[in-house]
Amino acid sequence: MKIIKSFNILNRELNYNKNIGFVPTMGSLHEGHISLIKYAKKKTKNVLVSIFVNPSQFNEKKDFIKYPRSLNKDISLLKKLNVNYLFLPTTYEIYKKGIKKRLIISNKDIILCAKHRPGHFEGVLAVISRFLQKISLKYLILGEKDFQQVYLIKKYLQKKFNIQIITCKTIRNKNKLPLSSRNILLNKFQLRKSEKISKLLFNFKKRIILNSKNIKFLNFYKNKVNNLCDNIEYFEIRSSFNLSRNISKKNFRIFIAYRQGKVRLIDNV
């Protein structure tokens, strides 16, 4: 595996070959990331993984500082997976003078996490845009755990860069909790409560699929979830196509963001 820290050297190594599967990450890799990498390896022989904790997508400085980092462990894992290239850019390499640290999104897209984390997705779009501007790529591999993030990247960047964006299902533990780098910040009691929350979401989804009128139980499930966490930021049902409130029993997802202590977690089913 070649470890590269600048766009110029990366492009020379890639020889401007577009047949690259790219998995952008912020490190602290887990089985969810591994599933994306394995998919990328099936799709193309050349796999590029990036690790960059992007400061512009954190609206709380403390959250950026506390974000889990395990670079040496990540490098060892990526070598075992036979990843071809690891990109480790510095903040200066990404945001050189004159480079925008945030892109603008429309007001109608300021919902869910975009509403509760001002500037977050603007920062995500900026860094992904920077990657796509500087690297010739064919495939961008993303996970559905942050469904809103995937939706916005597709909406604002896919046509602009003429790239194929491939999404993979969320990887969960045996108790339905989605894998996340932040999970290591939870104690055992908080972890168990979060697993119960995810199971409630799946139960609620099954009821809606059986009968769309069961959407009326939203507040019932919200109260159950509220007893299992310290704060709910949002608990909403939206379209799986465009995140609008125009839904049917075949076209919906349940979205949630909540806190266990100081740890913010998201899920969607």
What positions carry a catalytic annotation?
33
Residues in the chain: 269
Instruction: Say whether 233 sits in a helix, a strand or coil.
Output: strand
Instruction: Say whether 52 sits in a helix, a strand or coil.
Output: coil
Q: How far is CA 71 from CA 13, 26, 79, 120, in A?
A: 22, 10, 12, 23
**Amino acid identity for residue 81 in this structure:** L
State both tokens at 231: 């704060």
CB-based burial label for 16 (10 Å; 0-12, 13-18, 19+): exposed
State both tokens at 129: 């845009």
Specify the DSSP element, H or E, that contains 140. strand 139-143
Q: How far is CA 81 from CA 3, 19, 42, 137, 235, in A?
A: 14, 19, 12, 20, 37
